[in-house]
Amino acid sequence: GAVVSQHPSRVICKSGTSVKIECRSLDFQATTMFWYRQFPKQSLMLMATSNEGSKATYEQGVEKDKFLINHASLTLSTLTVTSAHPEDSSFYICSARGGRERYTDTQYFGPGTRLTVL
Amino acid sequence: GENVEQHPSTLSVQEGDSAVIKCTYSDSASNYFPWYKQELGKRPQLIIDIRSNVGEKKDQRIAVTLNKTAKHFSLHITETQPEDSAVYFCAATYSWGKLQFGAGTQVVVTP
Record: contact B97-A105, CB cut-off 8 A: yes
Span B45-93, pLDDT tens digits: 999 999 988 899 999 999 999 999 999 999 999 999 999 999 999 999 9
Residues of A in contact with B98 (CB under 8 A): 34, 46, 49
Asked if A110 reaches chain B (Cβ–Cβ under 8 Å), the answer is yes
Q: Is the dihedral of CA A61, B87, B73, A25 positive or negative?
A: positive
Residue B105: is it exposed, middle or buried by C-beta count within 10 angstroms (0-12/13-18/19+)? buried
Question: Is A32 in Cβ contact with B44 (below 8 Å)?
Answer: no
CA B8 – CA A2 distance, rounded (Å): 30
| Cβ pairs bridging A and B (under 8 Å) | 46
Least confident of A70-74, A75-79, A109-113, B60-64: A70-74
pLDDT one-digit tens code per residue, B26-35: 999 999 999 9
The per-residue pLDDT for range A21-49, each reduced to its tens digit, is 999 999 888 889 999 999 999 999 999 99
Residue A99: the pLDDT is 57
Rounded-to-integer distance, Cα A84 and Cα A87, Å: 8
The model's confidence at residue A100, banded by pLDDT at 50, 70 and 90, is low
Residue A1: what pLDDT? 67
Whether residues B98 and A109 touch (CB distance < 8 A) is answered with no
